[in-house]
Chain A
């Protein structure tokens, strides 16, 4: 059964780079039927789509974060990575990775999420 697990530092200093990895176990990240996304949720607030990576290598980002975010994939390691540069306290959130189903553009499988706090 496919599972997603986010990992990375729980604490990042302001102005530095947030780097997270999503490890996909029990399957491949190369299927053309699926894509991979990152979503975040500040404490006590709603969900915010960060961006998505498709099998073709195409990426789509939230316009509000586009200038600071990069999503990439490593098919050999079955990992999806997120980098967010120049972080501030507003980037403090639980970060989720999720699998998207291409024909409907919805996320059908989610990781448990990892809390990242931006603080000096």
Chain B
């Protein structure tokens, strides 16, 4: 079973700053099957990125995904107030990472 480890656990940043979130897999994962989700309190997760770097419908281009093999990254180029949330990676529609919380510094 593939384990996904996200880091850091919490990222404290200010609006306008760049956020870099990491997702590391315990064994190689096809980038075609790596997805990122955003979750805000009291809401279901929302798909952000799929196929490692494709943005879901309606997702602004400040969100981007990259990586291959065992190391993947979600980048938010300039944080907007609505981007402060918890982010999860997922592989092959199954295992989730434990999440990274992006909070206001």
Known: A46-B88, A47-B45, A62-B94. A104 touches B99 (CB 8 A): no
B12 near A: Cβ within 8 Å? no
Known: A46-B99, A47-B88, A49-B93. A108 touches B1 (CB 8 A): no
A106 & B96 in contact (Cβ 8 Å cutoff): no
Query: Which chain B residues in 18-64 approach chain A with CB under 8 Å?
Result: 32-33, 35, 37, 39, 43-47, 50-51, 56
Known: A104-B33, A104-B51. A110 touches B93 (CB 8 A): no
Residues of chain B lying within 8 A (CB to CB) of residue A110: 44-46
Complex Cα gap A105–B35 (Å): 9
1/0 contact string of B73-105 vs chain A (CB within 8 Å): 000000000000000101011111111000000
Complex Cα gap A24–B91 (Å): 25
A105 & B96 in contact (Cβ 8 Å cutoff): no
Complex Cα gap A35–B94 (Å): 12
B92 & A105 in contact (Cβ 8 Å cutoff): yes
Query: For chain A, what secondary structure do more than half of its interface residues adopt (helix, strand, loop), or is it mixed?
Result: strand
A112 & B44 in contact (Cβ 8 Å cutoff): yes
1/0 contact string of A99-120 vs chain B (CB within 8 Å): 0110011111011110000000
Residues of chain B lying within 8 A (CB to CB) of residue A107: 35, 37, 45, 47, 90, 93
A63 near B: Cβ within 8 Å? yes
Query: Which chain A residues in 12-33 approach chain B with CB under 8 Å?
Result: none
State the Cβ distance, A107 to closest chain B Cβ, in Å: 7
Q: Across chains A and B, which 5 residue pairs bring their CB atoms closest together, nearest first?
A: A105-B93, A106-B35, A110-B44, A47-B96, A106-B50
Could you tell me which B residues sit within 8 Å of A by CB distance? 1, 32-33, 35, 37, 39, 43-47, 50-51, 56, 88, 90, 92-99
20 chain-A/chain-B pairs, Cβ below 8 angstroms: A35-B93, A39-B96, A46-B96, A47-B90, A47-B99, A49-B90, A49-B93, A52-B94, A62-B94, A63-B1, A101-B50, A104-B35, A104-B50, A104-B51, A105-B33, A105-B92, A106-B51, A106-B93, A107-B45, A108-B56
